[in-house]
Amino acid sequence: MKPELEKRIVRTPDGQEFEVDPLRDYYCEAAPTVMPAAYGKIVEDLFNWARSQSLWILGFGTGCGAIEMRPLMTPRFDAYRYGVQWRPTPRQANLFIISGYLSTKTLKRAIRSYEQMQNPKYVVGLGSCTINGGMYWDSYNTIKCLDQYLPVDLYITGCMPRPEALLQGFEDLKKLIRAGKCEGANKYSENFDWYKANQKQVIHDWDMPDYNW
Amino acid sequence: MDFDWMKIPYSLLTLFIVVNYGMILNAFIQKIGARVGRRHGIPIWQNYADLIKNYSIRSSITHGVMFYLGPVFRLSGGVGLLLFVPTIYGSYMFSNMSFAGDLILALYFVFFGTLGMALGAAESGHPHAAIGITRGLSQVTAAELPFALAVFAVALQYQTLSVTDIVAAQQGSFLNWTLFTNPLAVTAAMLSFLGSMMRPPFDVVLAPQEIPIGPPTEYHSSYLALMQTNRAIFPIAKIVIYMNLFFGGAASWPVFFLKVFCIYMISVLVGVVFPRFRVEQSIRWFLIWAVPVGILAVVLV
Amino acid sequence: MRELYQRLQSLFVLGELTEQRANLFFITVEKDRLRPLITHLRDREGLRHLVLLTAVDWLEEGQFQLTYLLCDRLTRRDLGLRVMLDRANPVMESIHDLWPTAATYQRELREMFGIDFPGSPRLDEEFILEGWNTTPPYRRDFDTLEYARSQYAERAGRETRDPETHMRAQLYPESN
Question: ipTM of the predicted structure?
Answer: 0.85
- The count of domains in chain C is 1
Cβ distance of A137 and C148 shorter than 8 Å: yes
Residues in A touching C154 (Cβ below 8 Å):
132-133, 144-145
For B42, the closest of A80, A86, A120 (CB atoms) is A80
B and C touching (3 or more beta-carbon pairs closer than 8 Å)? no
Chain C's closest residue to A141, CA to CA, is C148
Class at the top of the CATH hierarchy for domain A40-202: alpha beta
Percent of chain A at pLDDT exceeding 90: 38
Give how far A4 is from chain B: nearest CA, Å. Answer: 18
C126-136 pLDDT, tens digit each: 888 888 888 99
User: For residue C112, is the peptide bond before it cis, meaning its omega torsion is within 30 degrees of 0?
Assistant: no
Residue type at position A169: G
- N-to-C CA span, chain B: 36
Residues in A touching B51 (Cβ below 8 Å):
50
List chain A domain ranges: 40-202
The answer to the question of residue C164 being in a domain is: no
- A25 confidence band (pLDDT: 50, 70, 90): confident
The answer to the question of residue C161 being in a domain is: no
The answer to the question of residue C89 being in a domain is: yes
Range of the domain at C102: 2-154
The answer to the question of residue C171 being in a domain is: no
**Which uninterrupted H or E stretch holds C80?**
strand C77-86
Residues in A touching B56 (Cβ below 8 Å):
47, 50-51
CATH number at residue C123: 3.30.460.80
B158-175 pLDDT, tens digit each: 888 888 888 888 887 778
The answer to the question of residue C110 being in a domain is: yes
A74-128 pLDDT, tens digit each: 888 989 899 898 888 888 899 999 988 899 999 999 998 999 898 889 999 998 8
- C100 confidence band (pLDDT: 50, 70, 90): very high
**Mean pLDDT throughout B177-187?**
86
Q: What is the mean pLDDT of chain B?
A: 84
Give how far A87 is from chain B: nearest CA, Å. Answer: 7
Angstrom distances, CA of residue C129 to CA of A140, A205, B59: 10, 10, 34
Cβ distance of C130 and A132 shorter than 8 Å: no
The size of the A-B interface in CB pairs under 8 A is 86
Angstrom distances, CA of residue C30 to CA of C81, C82, C117: 10, 8, 16
Percent of chain B at pLDDT exceeding 70: 97
Cβ distance of A83 and B49 shorter than 8 Å: yes
Cβ distance of A132 and C147 shorter than 8 Å: no
Three-class DSSP category at A124: strand
